[in-house]
Structure formats: structure tokens, C-alpha cells
């Protein structure tokens, strides 16, 4: 499938819906909002489906236009962004009922669940794929679209520090600066600002952090009770897993967060300087992601989930 096929579908469709993965991060939000703005430049009004909008990204243009729709039947085209599989897609019902579907993503574990799938696993962010796509479509990337794209690139590269960053990442970013995008401001808002509740969650997670298997595995967790006690907001758990990976000698950092009773969302990161593929480990549990950052959902108590994960991680460290 080529970019031209995508452009044809976008031009033909009248009613378009845009969506991304659950618990959306900066790349998911940036991708949806930039796509909505780009479609607007093509003369198309698109609906964006977001059930949990992190307040961190409320400064982005178009953030206030996000609302829940009810008429699932009406879409000619559904576009899924930054989402590897249907089960993590928020608004799956809209996607499944749409006449045509497009998947644009950068996860190596993408299940290719659209009519058209445009997946580049070496792209550091879905937003970077979109930047190239909009350029190819001759859509002017203005300050508004550019700010959304920069948000995805900055968050998914940990502020340009992950090994996924390429010369192209900086070239796109340089172009965004020329367009007037304030990279420093976005960087500080999305990576350098903590809500107090986020700090309190981090404090609890750090107090509980255990180093297992000769200090090669960092493990910690957060329960619903913690989130209630600190009055956690949507997105407050983001970034906690990164702290374990920066400890010297740690090969895999694991953070688990209670989703519902006896069900945990797992976040896994490869330690600095290792070549462990955490996506392969998460795949064993029905999850996936990227080689150095991945996730899954695992059933059990904290101790049970920990045991299951450590058993798999031990095989590769
Ligand atoms: P997280 O730990 O939630 O920040 O996720 C790390 C990376 O893995 C992100 O790119 C996620 O989109 C991806 N990911 C997380 N959970 C899953 C899952 N269950 N299936 C596939 N990809 C996932
Ligand atoms: Mn994402
Ligand atoms: Mn992403």
C-alpha cells in the first residue's frame, strides 16, 4: 500500500473518524490532533475519539474539540493512529463499522488490522510518520499541526534521547522550528513538568522498587488505592518505569499498574546499554510494542504478576 492510496481514501471520504490506543500518550494525542488539523486543511471535518484526555496535553490546538460521539454507523473512513492492535484501540466499534479503514503506526508488533496499513517500525514516533506523510500530501505543516507533531516526537523519543532517533528526526524538528513551533516550551510542558499527584505516585513507586536477579531487574508497582490516595489524574503513571532503567546494571525495568482487581497493565523498558528486546517478552503475555519499550496486560496479584514476568525475563538476561 502506498501513501497515494491513503490520499485517495481521505479525499473520497466525507465522514471521517480518528482514534488511537487506550491511555493515550503524547504520540497518540499528537497524532490524532495533527491528523484532524491536516484533514481540515483538505476541507474535511473529522471526529476524534478520546475517552481519557491527559491534562498535560490540554495546551495543544484542537484539544477542546475532542468529544465522545454516539453514532457508530456513520463513518466512511476510520483512521487508527499509534495503535498496534484492535484490542487496545479506543473507539474500536467505530473502526469496525466504518466503510474503509486505515492504520498508521510505528509498532513492530502491529497486527495490520486495517484495509490499508502504513506501518514503519523504525520510525521513532507515529507523529514523525505523519510529518512525512503530510509533506508528501503537500499539506502545509503550520505552527498548530507542527506543535502536535513535535509533542509526539518529543514524548516518544524521551526528549530526543532514545536510540530510535535518526537524522531525519532532527531534520523534521528543525523544519518545525522554522515554522515557528516552540520546541523548548513543548518539551518543558510534556517532559519537565510534574503534577504533585504524579510526584506522589513516583515517590511511592520508588519506595517500593526492588532489584531482583542480581540487580538486573528493577520492579515496582502502583495500585488503585495509591491513585485514589494521591488524587491521581489521567496520565500520572507515565514515566515511572523510566526511573528503574537508569540504575546501573539494570537490564529490564518493570512497572505494573492495577487496571482492575487482579489485573495489571505492565510497562517494560530495556536497560541502558543492553540489547534485550522487551517487546518479545511482552509478546509472550499477549502484548507488544517496541524493542526497548513495550507493554502487556497480565492477570494476578502483584506477587503473582511479578513472578510470571521475572520467569520470562530470566530467560533472556
Ligand atoms: P507503555 O509502557 O504503556 O508506555 O508502553 C510502551 C510501548 O509499548 C508503547 O509504544 C505502547 O504503545 C506499547 N504497548 C504498551 N502496551 C501494549 C500492548 N498491550 N500491546 C502492544 N503494544 C503495547
Ligand atoms: Mn503511544
Ligand atoms: Mn508512539
Alpha carbon distance 107, 86 (integer Å): 13
Nearest CA to ligand 1 atom 11: 289
Say if residues 277 and 299 touch (Cβ distance below 8 Å).
Answer: no
Q: Are residues 301 and 224 in the same domain?
A: yes
Q: Are 114 and 99 in contact (CB under 8 A)?
A: no
Nearest to 204 by CA among 260, 261, 268, 255: 255
121 with 229, same domain? no
What is the structure's pLDDT at 287? 96
- Average pLDDT value for the chain: 96
Supply φ then ψ for residue 217, to 5 degrees.
-120, 125
Quick one: pLDDT band at residue 2, thresholds 50, 70, 90?
A: confident
Cell triple for 52: 481519557
Kindly state whether residues 208 and 308 are assigned to the same domain: yes
With cut-offs at 50, 70 and 90, classify the pLDDT of residue 65: low
Residue 248's pLDDT band (cuts 50, 70, 90): very high
CATH code for the domain of 228: 3.10.310.30
CA 292 – CA 301 distance, rounded (Å)? 25
> Is there a contact between 82 and 34 (Cβ–Cβ < 8 Å)?
no
Rounded distance from Cα 23 to ligand 2 centre (Å): 9
CA distance 157 to 236: 18
Residues 46 and 105 in one domain: yes
In this predicted structure, what is the pLDDT of residue 69?
Answer: 64
Please measure the distance between the N-terminal and C-terminal CA atoms of the chain and give it in whole angstroms.
38
C-alpha cell at 77: 473512513
Nearest CA to ligand 1 atom 17: 295
Ligand 1 pocket test, pick from 295, 296, 309 with the greatest ligand atom count within 8 Å of Cβ, gives: 295
What's the confidence (pLDDT) of residue 74?
A: 86
| 294-307 pLDDT per residue, tens | 999 999 999 999 99
* Cα 125 to middle of ligand 3, angstroms: 5
- Inter-residue contact 279 to 109 (CB < 8 Å): yes
Residue range of the domain that includes 64: 3-191
When pLDDT is averaged across residues 251-266 and rounded to a whole number, the result is: 98
The total number of structural domains that make up the chain: 2
Per-residue pLDDT tens over the stretch 200-211: 999 999 999 999
The confidence score (pLDDT) of residue 68 equals 64
The pLDDT score that the predictor gives to residue 62 is: 83
Domain boundary at 191, 212, 229, which? 191
pLDDT at position 1: 65
3-state secondary structure of 271: coil
Amino acid at each position: 500500500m502506498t501513501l497515494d492510496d491513503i490520499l485517495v481514501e481521505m479525499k473520497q471520504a466525507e465522514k471521517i473518524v480518528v482514534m488511537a490506543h487506550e491511555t493515550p500518550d503524547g504520540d497518540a494525542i499528537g497524532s490524532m490532533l495533527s491528523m484532524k488539523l491536516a484533514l481540515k486543511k483538505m476541507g474535511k471535518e473529522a471526529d476524534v475519539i478520546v475517552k481519557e484526555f491527559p491534562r498535560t496535553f490540554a495546551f495543544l490546538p484542537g484539544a477542546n474539540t475532542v468529544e465522545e460521539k454516539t453514532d457508530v454507523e456513520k463513518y466512511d473512513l476510520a483512521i487508527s493512529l499509534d495503535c498496534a492492535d484492535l484490542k487496545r484501540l479506543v473507539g474500536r466499534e467505530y473502526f469496525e463499522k466504518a466503510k474503509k479503514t486505515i492504520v498508521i503506526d510505528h509498532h513492530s508488533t502491529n497486527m495490520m488490522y486495517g484495509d490499508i496499513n502504513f506501518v514503519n517500525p523504525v520510525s521513532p514516533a507515529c507523529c514523525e510518520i505523519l510529518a512525512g506523510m503530510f509533506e508528501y500530501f503537500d499539506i502545509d505543516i503550520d505552527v498548530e499541526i507542527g506543535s502536535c507533531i513535535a509533542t509526539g516526537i518529543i514524548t516518544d523519543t524521551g526528549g530526543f534521547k532514545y536510540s530510535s532517533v535518526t537524522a531525519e528526526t532532527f531534520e523534521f524538528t528543525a523544519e518545525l522550528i522554522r515554522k515557528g513551533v516552540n520546541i523548548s516550551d513543548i518539551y518543558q510542558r510534556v517532559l519537565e513538568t510534574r503534577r504533585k499527584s504524579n510526584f506522589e505516585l513516583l515517590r511511592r513507586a520508588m519506595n517500593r522498587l526492588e532489584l531482583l536477579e542480581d540487580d538486573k531487574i528493577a520492579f515496582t508497582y502502583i495500585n488503585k488505592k495509591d491513585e485514589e490516595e494521591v488524587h491521581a489524574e489521567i496520565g500520572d503513571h507515565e514515566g515511572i518505569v523510566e526511573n528503574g532503567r537508569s540504575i546501573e546494571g539494570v537490564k529490564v525495568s518493570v512497572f505494573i499498574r492495577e487496571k482492575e482487581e487482579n489485573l495489571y497493565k505492565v510497562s517494560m523498558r530495556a536497560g541502558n546499554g543492553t540489547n534485550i528486546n522487551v517487546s518479545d517478552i511482552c509478546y509472550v503475555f499477549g502484548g507488544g510494542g517496541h524493542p526497548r519499550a513495550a507493554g502487556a496486560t497480565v492477570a494476578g496479584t502483584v506477587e503473582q504478576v511479578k513472578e510470571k514476568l521475572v520467569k520470562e525475563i530470566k530467560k533472556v538476561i
